[in-house]
Amino acid sequence: MLDGRLMPRDPLERPMTGNESLRFVEHLRQNNHLTKTTGNGELAEQGGGDRLQGQVSGKLWEHTDLSASEFADEAARFYDLERVSLQDMLSATAVVEPFSQRFLREMTVFPYRSVEAGAVLAVADPADNAARRAAEIVLGGDVTIKVGSFEDITVALNQRLGSEDAEAPGGETFQPREDDIESLRDLASGAPVVRAVNDLLEKAVELRASDIHIEPLHAGLAVRMRIDGLLRPVTAPAGVVPQAVISRIKIVASLNIAERRLPQDGSARLRAGRSDIDIRVAIMPTQHGESAVIRILPKDRGLLVIEKLGFSSADEAKIRRLLTLPHGMIVITGPTGSGKTTTLATVLSILNEPSRKILTIEDPVEYEIPGVNQSQIKPAIGLTFAAALRSFVRQDPDVIMVGEVRDSETAHVAVHAALTGHLVLTTLHTETAAAAVPRLLDLGVEGYLLRSTLRAVVAQRLVRQLCDRCKSPKTLTKTDLAEDPRFAALGFEAGETLRDPCGCERCGGTGYRGRLGVFEILELTNELRELIGEKTDGLKIDQTAIRAGMTTMLDDGLAKCRAGQTSPAEILRVTTVR
């Protein structure tokens, strides 16, 4: 006994059915599976004459030209036993607690229960009667023997033993034991897991994905990739332990693989296929394990030129004119993933001249712009947006970029920086351009300061761009307008020609490839400034700006539909009729 659990005699003293084992050796030799340097004498010597010792099937496998899976298939056929896969073992109810870890690992067996067969013992060595007898004693009855590969059983043991030890009997969660962590680290550094993670990254780069979502299920992993703004399921890695995949991602991002209870964030710079990429990794504990989201930032994303963003000629001229202002604040708004950072980086590249000093504080630094002094926040040591801003004003900058205004303190410092002669660029999370004004007031910025500093608000969304290779023309008829009232709601008329997504090999059958922005630019005029006060009505600001000639995101999107760049369905997906 060991810790109250069964521990058999020394494995070298196990009684074995040597004749069966030797017949299996002969079977392998006759089928030319043994390597040329191996003979029966050598194998018999390892087994001590007519008995094969310890992990002799493991040694035997090393003397064959078979993979671990092929060896298990051959053993299952020879001994007339059912083969069990890794997925079957991982999805079954493990019964490892009554046994010692040493016994399970040295014998390379995995006990579990199934609905069909009851108590089952997955073995790598079918000739091992000692393991069968031990399982029958512990589990109290007959045990069905199935054959699993050495690698699969090791993987199943690594996962189940780790998870069993992570939970205390009283329900209190403990950190995994050091030997389990080292075993998991070894597993995560093994070729199958490394190859699986590398393949995922390469596939993501190939599909132009911006994010990889790896989510644990009750048995296995679900993997989705965000391509052109929408999540698309992809095939999850097969034959590897889910926990080992997450651990490999942690290792790459320099995170603590022993910490499974708290969220973690990390980053790395690596090569996927032929591309150099930066990745940002976010780990989150969930009910069935840890999930990981990998943000992919290719290094070769092309030049940051304003023409690629999708501004209309009128809005582009307005942006360029606003950037000539010596001071004030320009805010870019939109939800997460709407392209605000790309727009900011493009604007900075326009301002980036030797005559200007530009400082940025970001979370994280997604675009590296030569000539711009870029910093990343580090809240753990007190480097927040607000703290960096206070230091920036003593660095004599001309332009300051704040990655995001998240709180009252950052909003106040940003407004005061704009008031003291700096051009401040920042982002905010609001639905429309006009909604940025009451949002800043809610953050505690005084109305008179906002009237003095706010120059413009740019609201934006990203829509999928129709694939140039397969998009097809569609002339609207009265029947189309009657069947789909959305066309009429958007202002389309019978006889107008739009473009429909079709799908081809280039766009992966979606009909879309790439994205472009739809924008609205709210420029603060004297009439609009008069509306800014303690009880500012965002709707009134919006209506006043539209009457003054502001092009809304909806109008900008409809113009892009008529130009054949996107579809009405995409515009309706990201904007609202107002």
* CB burial of residue 32 (10 Å; 0-12, 13-18, 19+): exposed
Over residues 284-307, the pLDDT tens digits come to 999 888 999 999 987 765 567 888
* Partners of residue 519 on adjacent β-strands: 460
CATH superfamily of the domain spanning 306-462+515-563: P-loop containing nucleotide triphosphate hydrolases (3.40.50.300)
DSSP letter, residue 237: P
Q: Largest alpha-carbon pair distance within the chain?
A: 100
Nearest partner of 295 among 220, 365, 348, 236, judged by Cα = 365
Mean pLDDT, the chain, rounded, equals 84
Six token digits for residue 90: 């991982």
Entry pTM: 0.65
pLDDT of amino acid 123: 92
Reduce the secondary structure of 275-301 to three states and give it as a string: EEEEEEEEEEEECCEEEEEEEEEECCC
The CATH class given to the 178-298 domain equals alpha beta
Q: What is the pLDDT of residues 555-567, one digit of tens each?
A: 999 999 999 999 9
Residue given tokens 């609201």 in the structure block: 459
Does the pLDDT of residue 19 top 80, yes or no? no
What is the per-residue pLDDT for 444?
Answer: 93
Q: Are 309 and 302 spatial neighbours (Cβ–Cβ below 8 Å)?
A: no
The CATH-assigned architecture of domain 59-161 is: 2-Layer Sandwich (3.30)
Instruction: State residue 18's pLDDT score.
Output: 52
- Return d(Cα 245, Cα 354) in angstroms, integer: 46
Is the predicted pLDDT of residue 56 greater than 80, yes or no? Answer: no
Distance of alpha carbon 321 from its chain centroid, rounded?
39
pLDDT tens per residue, range 212-251: 999 988 767 899 999 998 999 998 887 777 888 999 999 9
* Tens-digit pLDDT profile for residues 329-350: 999 999 988 999 999 999 999 9
Chain segment 464-484, per-residue pLDDT in tens: 999 999 999 999 988 888 888
Nearest to 152 by CA among 204, 76, 249: 76
Q: What is the pLDDT of residues 100-134, one digit of tens each?
A: 887 888 788 999 988 777 889 999 888 777 778 88
Q: Do domains 59-161 and 178-298 have the same CATH topology?
A: no
Confidence check: pLDDT of 3 > 70: no
Query: In this structure, what token pair is assigned to residue 331?
Result: 């805010």
pLDDT confidence bin for 169, thresholds 50/70/90: very low
**Given pLDDT bands bounded at 50, 70 and 90, which one contains residue 392?**
very high
316 three-state secondary structure: helix
pLDDT digits (tens, 9 = 90+) for 407-422: 999 999 999 999 999 9
- Tokens 């780790």, residue? 162
Confidence (pLDDT) at 211: 95
- The amino acid present at 317, given as its one-letter code, is A
pLDDT of 436: 95
Degrees to nearest 5, angle at CA 132 with 127 and 135: 155
Indicate the pairing of strand 82-83 with strand 423-428.
unpaired
Q: Give the model's confidence band at 253: pLDDT under 50 very low, under 70 low, under 90 confident, else very high.
A: very high
**431 φ/ψ sector (left φ>0, alpha ψ -120 to 50, else beta):** alpha
* DSSP code at position 487: H
* Domain residue limits, the chain: 59-161, 178-298, 306-462+515-563
Predicted pLDDT at 302: 57
**Range with the largest mean pLDDT of 49-63, 142-156, 514-528:** 514-528
